[in-house]
Structure 1
């Protein structure tokens, strides 16, 4: 190969000063500082800190216990994001292999970031191009550009041909002159189009955050007015502050935020044990809501490797066994290193005869060959390059190729030289196929049964892609689209609605296909491993990357399958559905407190009395009647499709329960005035009755009951009652074993269920009437 001296040290320094030096791809993960700041500086945390400071001024430090919930919630978010960042950054670090350049007439190894424009790269088998360039000199250079184009076939490169960053050398070696570095390279130009962060796609968390934002608008003015009214009604400083904080804390469903974070974190831990990296907790929910999954062929449905399928004998001159020995001797004797050769070498391991007069494989020749012992001269390669195909043979080759095979022909020749192959006779067709992941078909069947539609979007040949779709039993595999024939003005929404398999898809087209599916109302997941998948992964609602893929792809994906195990998607889907279905059903428990707190705050603006609770007195209700039971219920299996019962739970359970609490507290306040009770007795009875209302709601959301749920329900009420006996001084409760407090408490508890059922019917009638009026009004508008 021609010798080149490369750049001199002075030329390298000049290019560095001109800014023509390569750079590391900008990180697509957040920095540690960003992660901490985004989790710490939230509206939720700000409210908690302000309220904690208010309580601190009273000296009643035990009433600051609520700040622990905000702290734990923040730490969980920080820990999970930092853990994911560390894993992704570690994978990226491992892929930063040094490169060889020629400078000052000698070869030297440098980091990819130190390459400058005009450098001469020396590449050989297995090297990846960190920059774009042009071939200066080559010896049988073949490049795998599947990361860029999705095409699995190696591409031969001659002097003057361009090479692209992100592609690999699969055969030969070459000298490459660097033409583009840094942000100008193909890979970096793609990643530059990607925003470092992605909007939270979690419907559940968005809904919870929206509720908190709305409540914040209510909390600040309502809390301020309530505090002023306490002072105007002559309530003492500590009582006024503690009552106001209790009311404001009651309005915030902070336990629901914590529950969502904890259960998602537990799911992320379970998935980590199954070798699935979750980069964002909310993405667990998003994947569970996905109804369409778009699959890249190479590296996703297939492993990227090849396998021998069949030896189809086309002569009676040799037996199958004899042809196997000839092939074994040929492929092992030639010693080619491309993927096809390695596949045949691993299958045909018997090589009894030596091979001489070797002609190695070349993309220009499309064949390799040699003299096999005393048997004869043999060549193997693309049929049209080693044979003058008859019409019958052409039809057979076409038929085999349409079935998804890579077809090679083994021929015997009279003349075999480097650039000459004559007198060939067809011995056999050799069929090679892509290795389909063993779990692909079963995983897709499971997803299909769960209502998830699969579509294949690949840069490979449409015929090959369709065959892979057929073998993995994807419906609609026979209606493939060649995207190289689709114009920019095509109706992509109609395209994705009518077709399932798309071949020869460019990166920008992949992104447009995802957008079209989303425009058609679908929630879309995208799997991929190459640079050509980056834009589509980011556009999708949920991006899934294989660990074997490009580092940029892994950096932006929501999930990374660490073992490139496609079936892991089943576990992710199950975890997401379990979390959402359980939180969906138990969220109404948390909103009971929110609703009755708002109602009581408004009522107590006009009452010259202390608020019925202190912050610490709400702890047994928050933890034993709601927090701990709901967390245990959230871990229960619930893998059925998502039903979205959040709103139904509010009208069916939360609102009637909240009204039950308010009515009971007003009754307790009236009884207390009649019996001249102190605040201690009023608060004790209020907490007791409120706890039992929440316990009834706990029973309702736990249906259908089983031994596990029954144990949770029984345990929660037992521990709740123990607090009134063992820890009553800490929480500020009066003794329930006193007349007439205990008796009145029992009577009110017995009346909870009939009162709740009556209010539930009233709420149902009102909501049904309002909905009917709204539906009737809209057409008139």
Structure 2
């Protein structure tokens, strides 16, 4: 490895030479699928393959109009591809705003670049929270600690000194350093493991899981059932072409085409809508996941409060003047040179005497203090409880009083010895009062979550009294129930803690993770918010991780959502989008499964009947399009922010089973009485079957669309009018006989009049019978 001058960095010609040699880093993996993947994933599906095979069979019969079902499938797939590509472009545009940037020294100038602009031998300036996109070696540092848990599995920070190597995928827990890049792109360790580590808890959509389970069963059923029906038709003397058309009609009816597509498109459209509201969605199922969350864990800084810290006052504890203490605190803070919010507040408000530190221990979330040796003395700044094993009673009382008033309290102390493992000979010199402002819309936002049955919990590294005070100001219920996690021993009953307390203070990163796990063990779906490296373990463990764009790159890299404006109020939009998708898909799924249910039932029944299958493929097109395809597209996009019931199958069964039962009953009535008793032709019975099936499906559509409004009534009415026009003006196209036949009207008029009351009756009977005996579980 060629050594680069750490004071100068690479020159522009040297950078260009490395770029030409291919020694340039790779861009971050995209969050969305490529256009090619979108096309292939939507086109190369099992059901599309079945449709193509069925289309070829229909083509063989010469009845080309019966291939119209392929047109519907093509249009559905085309709409899905268009919507997903459109959503991809919006999300990709938003992801640029959340991409990590790094500080590179070139020709004595510090530049801010994306990771794909880094070349081998570049000099990087890294700080607390930065995640390394390349392999590197430490050139200069006053003290850093690195978390390599994504690589080694060990969560304990590792101290690094000049000359030590840094592996890509690891991130800085504390300190600052100048490093030289050693390996980039495909040669770096991150290329093999980092992306896997970032997504090690890949979310899955519960809706898609249930739907895919249904499809898996259908996949097993469709082929054998179709083959048996086809054989039965031939054995009963049906012509080959007619047997093929009957079988194709049955198999097309069994396929809930568009259901998976509609779910995927709905999630993609939600991601696009959220990106417009400055929320980056890293995984689509996370939208659904947040809507199911019932415990929301908040980190105080950046979530309840704005994260902007201000030095309010310094309280002397020894015989020193306030001016001397301001000089001392400012000098120590600048010598340590941490870049967290507290350090920034101190460096901004206090003078910088430009003292040179001979030794530095940077701040870490585990220690909760930092220190420096300056002018022959060792000083530490941090949480009083962590700097001294046992606080003197007067000092403890003073700290508690300040914390109760809502201040974040730090202590400046001179110490005898100072190592990464602890302090000794601690002599307190002053208390430092820091204030943290409440977010403007915090009260409104948290009240909304509480009203939606989402329990709010606060997990913070700060003093629990301070956190409790601020949580109370934000309107969080039971904020007075708080616990100091630093006061507990090594053996902690986390299950008991989460059941009793709302506010958890002085929490270490491993404890945050354990608290999240305890809520999960109690059966809750947990979301975690955070912006720093101390939140990473909990963010990764939670069912849904939410990071602020202003937070550390390491936190953003494993979160499900990144709030671009670091505004937690945007989470209301995520909650509502998730609920809209789940509620709407749960409702409209019933309409897709009606056709599947009655098609399977009719296929089984007509295996044993002399009459041919009641439909031809083309006759299913107006039913599928006008009672399912078109209306569900609009219903799936309507605002629907009700609380999640979590009972997908119950909602489906309450609508779909009565509808399918009615359809099968009407068709058997038509064939057994109209066909056998009154000798109606197959064309007449199939026309009546289409008419009654469509009528029942329109009633089911009316049920699904509830609560009704003018737009929904108009939508159902428009579909009904279009369905009538199919019989009046396009009957020949769909192989239907004329309805202006009084003998036929003698059958269909009373049957159509009976549809609505019969549907309600069947629904009531099943509701009191079968459904009442089923113990519905949360999906």
Structure 2 residue 640 is the aligned partner of structure 1 residue 638: yes
What's the TM-score, normalizing by structure 1?
A: 0.73
Q: Partners in 1 of 2:758 and 2:383 — Cα distance?
A: 84
What SS does the corresponding residue of 2:524 show, helix, strand or coil?
A: coil
Map of 2:729 onto structure 1: 726
Map of 1:378 onto structure 2: none
For residue 539 of structure 1, the aligned residue among 541, 556, 562 is 541
Q: Deviations over 1:14-55 (max 9, x none)?
A: xx9xxxx99769848576476666555544444334334433
Map of 1:423 onto structure 2: none
For residue 440 of structure 2, the aligned residue among 438, 457, 461 is 438
Q: Partners in 1 of 2:81 and 2:269 — Cα distance?
A: 14
Task: Name the CA shift for 1:404/1:182 in 2 (closer, same or farther; >3 Å).
Answer: farther
What SS does the corresponding residue of 1:710 show, helix, strand or coil?
A: helix
Q: Partners in 1 of 2:243 and 2:554 — Cα distance?
A: 56
Q: Is the 8 A contact 2:6 2:139 kept in 1?
A: no
Q: Partners in 1 of 2:545 and 2:394 — Cα distance?
A: 46
Give, in angstroms, the shift of residue 64 of structure 1. Answer: 1.8
Q: Partners in 2 of 1:100 and 1:196 — Cα distance?
A: 33
Alignment of 1:253-402 (within 5 A): 253-309=256-312, 396=398, 399-401=401-403
Map of 2:205 onto structure 1: 202
Alignment of 1:624-703 (within 5 A): 624-644=626-646, 646-669=648-671, 670-703=673-706
Task: Name the CA shift for 1:192/1:736 in 2 (closer, same or farther; >3 Å).
Answer: closer
Map of 1:373 onto structure 2: none
Task: Name the CA shift for 1:744/1:751 in 2 (closer, same or farther; >3 Å).
Answer: same
Give, in angstroms, the shift of residue 291 of structure 1. Answer: 0.5
What SS does the corresponding residue of 1:545 show, helix, strand or coil?
A: strand
Q: Partners in 2 of 1:108 and 1:699 — Cα distance?
A: 61
Task: Name the CA shift for 1:83/1:509 in 2 (closer, same or farther; >3 Å).
Answer: farther
Q: Is the 8 A contact 1:287 1:573 kept in 2?
A: yes
For residue 621 of structure 2, the aligned residue among 608, 612, 619 is 619
Map of 2:498 onto structure 1: 496
Map of 2:81 onto structure 1: 75
Q: Partners in 2 of 1:201 and 1:542 — Cα distance?
A: 11
Q: Is the 8 A contact 1:49 1:67 kept in 2?
A: no
Q: Deviations over 1:315-362 (max 9, x none)?
A: xxx9xxxx99x999x999x999976687589889xxxxxx9x956697
Structure 2 residue 745 is the aligned partner of structure 1 residue 742: yes
RMSD: 5.5
Map of 1:559 onto structure 2: 561
Q: Partners in 1 of 2:654 and 2:6 — Cα distance?
A: 77
Q: Partners in 1 of 2:291 and 2:738 — Cα distance?
A: 48
Task: Name the CA shift for 1:128/1:573 in 2 (closer, same or farther; >3 Å).
Answer: closer
For residue 245 of structure 2, the aligned residue among 242, 245, 259 is 242
Task: Name the CA shift for 1:746/1:68 in 2 (closer, same or farther; >3 Å).
Answer: same
For residue 600 of structure 1, the aligned residue among 599, 602, 605 is 602
Give, in angstroms, the shift of residue 749 of structure 1. Answer: 0.5
Map of 1:212 onto structure 2: 215
Map of 1:98 onto structure 2: 104
Task: Name the CA shift for 1:532/1:564 in 2 (closer, same or farther; >3 Å).
Answer: same
What's the TM-score, normalizing by structure 2?
A: 0.74
Q: Partners in 2 of 1:548 and 1:248 — Cα distance?
A: 53
What SS does the corresponding residue of 1:729 show, helix, strand or coil?
A: coil
Q: Partners in 2 of 1:477 and 1:162 — Cα distance?
A: 47
Q: Partners in 2 of 1:107 and 1:573 — Cα distance?
A: 40
Q: Is the 8 A contact 2:104 2:111 kept in 1?
A: no
Q: Partners in 2 of 1:634 and 1:109 — Cα distance?
A: 43
Map of 2:229 onto structure 1: 226
Unaligned runs of 5+ in 1: 149-155, 349-354, 370-380, 411-425, 776-781
Q: Partners in 1 of 2:116 and 2:269 — Cα distance?
A: 39
Q: Partners in 2 of 1:213 and 1:228 — Cα distance?
A: 24
What SS does the corresponding residue of 1:305 show, helix, strand or coil?
A: strand
Task: Name the CA shift for 1:256/1:81 in 2 (closer, same or farther; >3 Å).
Answer: same
Give, in angstroms, the shift of residue 502 of structure 1. Answer: 3.8
Alignment of 1:44-123 (within 5 A): 44-59=47-62, 60=64, 61-68=67-74, 71-72=77-78, 75=81, 79=85, 82-83=88-89, 86-87=92-93, 90-91=96-97, 95-99=101-105, 123=125
Give, in angstroms, the shift of residue 687 of structure 1. Answer: 1.1
Task: Name the CA shift for 1:301/1:769 in 2 (closer, same or farther; >3 Å).
Answer: closer
Q: Deviations over 1:187-226 (max 9, x none)?
A: 9999577364655533322222212212222212111111
- Per mean C-alpha deviation after superposition, the further-off stretch among 611-620 and 434-443 is 434-443
Q: Partners in 2 of 1:666 and 1:759 — Cα distance?
A: 16
Map of 1:522 onto structure 2: 524
Q: Partners in 2 of 1:576 and 1:124 — Cα distance?
A: 37
Unaligned runs of 5+ in 2: 150-158, 361-369, 375-380, 413-428
Task: Name the CA shift for 1:234/1:510 in 2 (closer, same or farther; >3 Å).
Answer: farther
Give, in angstroms, the shift of residue 672 of structure 1. Answer: 3.5
Give, in angstroms, the shift of residue 768 of structure 1. Answer: 5.7
Map of 1:582 onto structure 2: 584
Q: Deviations over 1:456-503 (max 9, x none)?
A: 33455656554543443433454234269553x644333333333345
Give, in angstroms, the shift of residue 447 of structure 1. Answer: 0.9
